[in-house]
């Protein structure tokens, strides 16, 4: 339960920071494309979707690192307990599986954007992706 609370707090902090910097350059860069509300079109929607997806990947990577560290800490402090060793290994395995899922999702989105849109730039880098 403490792990879940820690992950939720970390996720909330990242989301609050990203929301606070939605219109200005921050750590993640601009999430919302630069357009007036009445002039936004399909290109800006595609750009926004790519930016949100990139943010989610960044959060997933951070959570993966936290869980690998937690699994390693559990292994180090197991004191030879078979249950704690199994728990640490299970945590690390789950984190690695989650990382693989994140990378497959990234590859799938990359393929979809490459083949089905006329966008240019690297969608995984904030501010360098341009549609239309």
Q: What confidence tens digit (pLDDT) does each residue in 35-67 have?
A: 777 787 777 777 777 778 878 888 888 899 999
Question: Helices marked H in the chain — which ranges?
Answer: 2-20, 42-76, 82-116
* pLDDT band (50, 70, 90) for residue 82: very high
pLDDT of res. 127:
57
**What mean pLDDT value characterizes the chain?**
76
> Cα separation of 28 and 48, whole Å?
13
From first CA to last CA, the distance across the chain in angstroms is 46
> Cα separation of 50 and 104, whole Å?
15
């Amino acid at each position: 339960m403490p792990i879940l609370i820690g992950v939720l707090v970390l996720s909330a902090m990242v989301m609050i920071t990203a929301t606070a910097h939605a219109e200005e350059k921050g750590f993640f860069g601009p999430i919302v494309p630069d357009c007036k509300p009445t002039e936004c079109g399909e290109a800006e929607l595609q750009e926004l979707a790519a930016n949100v997806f990139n943010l989610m990947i960044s959060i997933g990577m951070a959570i993966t690192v936290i869980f690998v560290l937690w699994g390693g800490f559990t292994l180090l402090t197991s004191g030879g307990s078979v249950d704690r060793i199994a728990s640490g290994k299970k945590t690390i395995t789950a984190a690695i599986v989650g990382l693989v899922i994140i990378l497959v999702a990234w590859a799938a989105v990359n393929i979809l954007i490459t083949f089905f849109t006329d966008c240019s730039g690297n969608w995984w880098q904030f501010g360098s992706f341009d549609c239309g």
